[in-house]
Amino acid sequence: MIHVAVFDTKSYDRPGFESFNGKDLSFKFFESRLTEDTAVLTKGFDAVCVFVNDDVSAKVIDMLIDNGVKLIALRCAGFNNVDLKHALGKIRVVRVPAYSPYAVAEHTMALLLTSLRRIHKAFIRTRDFNFTLDGLTGFDLHGKTVGVIGTGKIGRIFIGICRGFGMNVIAYDPYPFQDADFPYVPLEDIFAKSDIISLHCPLTAETEHIINEKSIAAMKKGVFILNTSRGGLIDSEALLEGIKTRQVGAACLDVYEEESDFFFQDYSGHIMSDDVLARLISMPNVIVTSHQAFLTSDALANIAQTTAENIRTFFENGEAPNEVCYLCQ
């Protein structure tokens, strides 16, 4: 029997993983995140299953190894919360590279449409039987230029959706997709020519704060910025300043660089201690969702299945087809 500790578990995580509990796999769920304080709970487990806000730092990795854990199984695509350099040669790390790229791409477009057509404001207004149209004017997507940063599976699907709306697409990626039927341009052109910029790249040392004070100043006045990838891609204070000066016309964020302190939790009865996040949410042209772009029944089923297969394959024959390694980056 392979015993797996699942951290940062929510109610929607359980059904998919519980369906794989059986003769060879046993998942135990912990609501708490994996941290230096909770790593003690991993004693006696063969593997840990973690999510985006779990702490898989060097110290935690050493604690997992001391407790006999042999595999870290990410139930997500991103791995910026894992110290891969420290894990190298000590413990294997696997992930779910493509649970549902459609879910994330579709959520990105949903945020854009909601923002530019003021659907969220109209919904609240009509709930009060206010049927006026003042302040609800949007603009056509047809003919607008969207700059897509990152052309992995999610980015390419989002490009396809944008083309369905008749938008002009330009893209940037340091590793261009072969045989792409859309034009790649330098990053500077993305900033200068795009009416809408959408981020679909991983968080690395090269991409951290790719949206910053300098890049925002180089953008078209009134640009829409979308981020459903990783919060650290945007310098939040620079974004806030760009919104205040009207350089940024709107921001649609499913992620935030300090989200681990707040996302997936209910703080409705508390005072928000993060001033930047509080001010962003208060802006009428900012929409924030709490890292829910992945959250579809299809994606959850794929996450559970791929994670279970990753774990089984590793313990059965030592192979890790979805392994993330430091030297591979």
Q: In what order do the strands lie in the sheet with 196-199?
A: 168-172, 145-149, 196-199, 223-227, 248-253, 286-288
Q: What is the CATH number of domain 101-288?
A: 3.40.50.720
Residue with tokens 């939040």, as numbered in its chain: 236
**What's phi and psi for 252, nearest 5 deg?**
-120, 110
Q: What is the pLDDT of residue 326?
A: 65
Report which of residues 210 and 273 the model is more confident about: 210
Q: Please report, for the chain, the start and end positions of each structural domain, with discontinuous segments joined by +.
A: 2-99+297-328, 101-288
Residue 325 confidence class, pLDDT cut points 50, 70, 90: confident
Q: How far is CA 11 from CA 16, 17, 88, 100, in A?
A: 10, 11, 33, 19
- Catalytic annotation, residues: 230, 259, 291
Nearest CA-CA partner of 260 in 81, 140, 112, 104: 81
pLDDT tens digits along 228-237 = 999 999 999 9
2-99+297-328 shares its CATH topology with 101-288: yes
**Rounded to an integer, what distance in angstroms lies between the CA atom of residue 157 and that of residue 257?**
24
Q: What is the pLDDT of residue 9?
A: 96
pLDDT tens digits along 272-313 = 899 999 999 999 999 999 999 999 999 999 999 999 999 999
pTM score of the predicted model = 0.87
Q: What is the pLDDT of residue 329?
A: 52
Residue with tokens 């599976």, as numbered in its chain: 153
CATH superfamily of 2-99+297-328: NAD(P)-binding Rossmann-like Domain (3.40.50.720)
